[in-house]
Each structure stands twice: as C-alpha cells, then as structure tokens.
Amino acid sequence: MKRLISLLSISIFILSTSISASENDKVDASEIFSQLKSLVGVWEKEGATDSNFAISFELTANDTTLIEIWKYKGRKHSLTLYHLNGRSLMATHYCPQGNQPRLILSNDATLNNISFNYFDATNLESLEDSHQHTLGFELYESSDQILRKETYLSKSGEKGSDLLLVRK
C-alpha cells in the first residue's frame, strides 16, 4: 500500500510538471495577435499577372482589431476580423455566402504557424451548410511572403484552399 501511494505521488508530480511545462511553452494569444499585425498592407497571389485580386490588412479601433479585406475585380468580396477576447484570439469571417463563422485560436498555434478552428457561427442553420471551418497562416522569415490556408465544410465534405501571397 505504501509503495502504491508512493507510485501515485510520483505519477501525479510527473503529470503536473509536464502540464505546467506545456502551458509555459504555449504562445500567448496577444503575441500571436501582434504577429498578425505585421500583415498590414496589400497582398496578391504569388506570380499573379493581373490585378483582379488582392487581400489587404488594416488596423482599426485603436489597433485592437485587424481587418482582412478580399477584393476581386475592384469590389469587396469578403471580410475577416481578428481581435483578442480575454486570453484568446478570435477571427470572424463575413462570407459572401451570408454566414459568419467565428473561429478561435488553436491550442497548437505558434508565432509562425497561426491556426484557428471553428467555434460557432451566425446565420448558419446547419454544420452541413457550407462554411469556413479552419483558417491559418504560415509566416516565413521574409515578411513579404505568407501562406494562407483555409478549409470549408459542407454536405459534400471538406475542401481546402492554400494561397501563397506576396506583399504588393
């Protein structure tokens, strides 16, 4: 019995040490938001020969909200807002489909690999209706190139899309 208690105590100590170590390794949402702010400017698809498509990032609300605006053929196409919510970071995507998925920063996000997962949505009757389900950015050492990743879910399954973007 004494040996069992000793083994349990050691196991609990090891578990609590590993949990606190992983919490310390986790990047703070405010640090990731600061990293996202570095995207401010205008971006286009790498190798694009026309100017029909661009994504711009700008700050508003005393630099507490990052706005991502998609423009296609001179018209605004969609919008995503990024902001802190307490100790987490959220993204709300205003889709041309008319729904507004809210995504929350993934637990495994890093400063150079930022990812968001579906949290909830407005104007979405069913999770089987087409909606943005994940969103992410791979940031490279060159601040003039990023990979933007997203997946959409619908009745027909999951569809992913990656865009390699360069600063205009």
Q: Let me know if residue 121 belongs to a domain.
A: yes
**Whether the Cβ atoms of residue 57 and residue 68 lie closer than 8 Å to each other:** yes
d(CA 143, CA 39): 8
Residues in Cβ contact with 34 at an 8 Å cutoff, skipping those fewer than 6 apart: none
Enter the pTM of the model. Answer: 0.82
User: What pLDDT sits at residue 70?
Assistant: 96
CA 73 to chain centre: 26
Q: How many structural domains is the chain composed of?
A: 1
**Whether the Cβ atoms of residue 135 and residue 121 lie closer than 8 Å to each other:** no
d(CA 28, CA 111): 9
d(CA 52, CA 72): 5
In the block, which residue shows the tokens 């089987």? 128
Q: Let me know if residue 20 belongs to a domain.
A: no
Q: Let me know if residue 113 belongs to a domain.
A: yes
Residue 16 has pLDDT above 80, yes or no: no
Residues in the chain: 168
Residue-wise pLDDT for 87-127, tens only, equals 999 999 999 999 999 999 999 999 999 999 999 999 999 99
3-state helix, strand, coil in the chain (%, to 5): 20, 50, 30
Residue in 61, 53, 98 with CA at minimum distance from that of residue 81: 61
Residue-wise pLDDT for 117-163, tens only, equals 999 999 999 999 999 999 999 999 888 999 999 999 999 999 999 99
CATH of the domain at 103: 2.40.128.20
User: What pLDDT sits at residue 141?
Assistant: 85
For residue 25, name the pLDDT band (cuts at 50, 70, 90).
Answer: low
Q: Which tops the pLDDT comparison, 29 or 12?
A: 29
The pLDDT mean for the chain works out to 87
Q: Let me know if residue 22 belongs to a domain.
A: no
Q: Let me know if residue 9 belongs to a domain.
A: no
Domain membership of residue 161 as a residue range: 27-167
Q: Let me know if residue 57 belongs to a domain.
A: yes
Q: Let me know if residue 7 belongs to a domain.
A: no
d(CA 53, CA 72): 5
In the block, which residue shows the tokens 């630099």? 63
Q: Let me know if residue 18 belongs to a domain.
A: no
Instruction: State the distance between the two ends of the chain, measured CA to CA, in whole angstroms.
Output: 69
